[in-house]
Amino acid sequence: MDRAAMRRNRRIVAIWLFTVAAMILVMIILGGVTRLTGSGLSIMEWAPVSGALPPMSDAEWHHLFDLYKQIPQYSLVNEGFGLAGFKHIFWLEWIHRLWGRLIGLAFLVPLVWLGLTGRIERRLVPRLVLLFVLGGLQGAVGWFMVASGFLPDTTSVSAYRLVAHLVLALALYAAILWTALSLLRPASRRVVVPLAPRLLAASCAIMVALTIVAGGFMAGLHAGLTYNTFPLMDGQLVPDGWARLQPVLRNLTENVTAVQFDHRLLATATLILVTLMAALGPRIGLPRSISIALAVAVGCQYALGVTTLLLVVPVPVAAMHQAGAVILLTTVLVAWHRLLHGRLPKRPCAKGSRAAAPKPA
């Protein structure tokens, strides 16, 4: 295969992977909306195939509604909201699950076709198959999360399972995005960017990931419904009760006060690091467009976080905040990838220089 055909095939595969990544971004936003509206527990059965069809008759609707009435969320939160209310939360969760099935098809069908037609390089096949398997596992993890909300005296899912579901989704998104970027800009051994900027980019990616994980525990514990002031919490920079649980590590994931404080701290550290990388961008080899995107993404995301908190987690703003987290992660990964795959600039000819005269035979 000539180089032109190889580049063309790489572009085709990259466009496919970017499309799947965009669908995962939408899926993460849908997941956030279902959590914020309490819709995730409205479907009591996990039916990967038959569940693709919605209820077709009044009898089916009443059957599903009767199942929902058996869990604590109905009796403790939504008692008496009627079949119309149930249909509202049901459709949100059904769309969320349907979109997951569509992502699976959007990944599997082109994978098979591109593989059979020889457009995917052999070295990529094992990675892509593994990503597909992990995507299927994500569906099982999602049901494992939902099932935790059916336990007695429970009105929401386990925060730990929620974070596991979120982390796996983000890991899949990042892996697919990175693979697509690498197809458009293959690795070069002639990297000219110094180690320090690449470490800064890696640190930014780690901080964004940690902040998102902390945000997952914020969501799982409904921690955004408390301490709705900024920058102080209950009039203090470091609130009382940060370490009230024992052993102390439990506070990181189970103490509402500590979880919110940690999320604020990580978000602020992320703001500083990403802003620093954006400011240094032109000097360390990043295009101006990427530097601007970094500054805008981190600034908007921080502002959305503060707004979500001050307004006590309205669904539209909170959904935008979750989308902003993925967009910020995307910009940081693009910048990091660019720094890792830098190339030596072409050496311009010296002014007035001439080509060396050929040696006489």
Residue ranges of the binding site for heme: 263, 321
Helix axes 159-184, 3-36, angle to 10 degrees: 160
Q: How far apart are CA 273 and CA 276, in angstroms?
A: 5
Give the chain's length: 361
Go through 4-35 and write b for each residue having 16 or more CB atoms within 10 A of its CB, e for each that does not: eeeeebbebbbebbbbbbebbbebbbbbbbbb
The alpha helices in 185-314, defined as continuous H runs, are 195-221, 251-254, 256-284, 288-310
Binding residues: 263, 321
Q: What is the CA radius of gyration of the chain?
A: 24
CA angle 64, 65, 70 (to 5 degrees): 100
DSSP string, 91-124: HHHHHHHHHHHHHHHHHHHHHHHHHHTT-S-GGG
CB 274 within 8 A of CB 208: yes
Q: How far apart are CA 53 and CA 43, in angstroms?
A: 12
Residue 320 phi/psi, 5° resolution?
Answer: -65, -35
CB 34 within 8 A of CB 93: yes
Q: DSSP state, 246?
A: S
Q: How far apart are CA 94 and CA 103, in angstroms?
A: 14
Widest CA span in the chain: 100
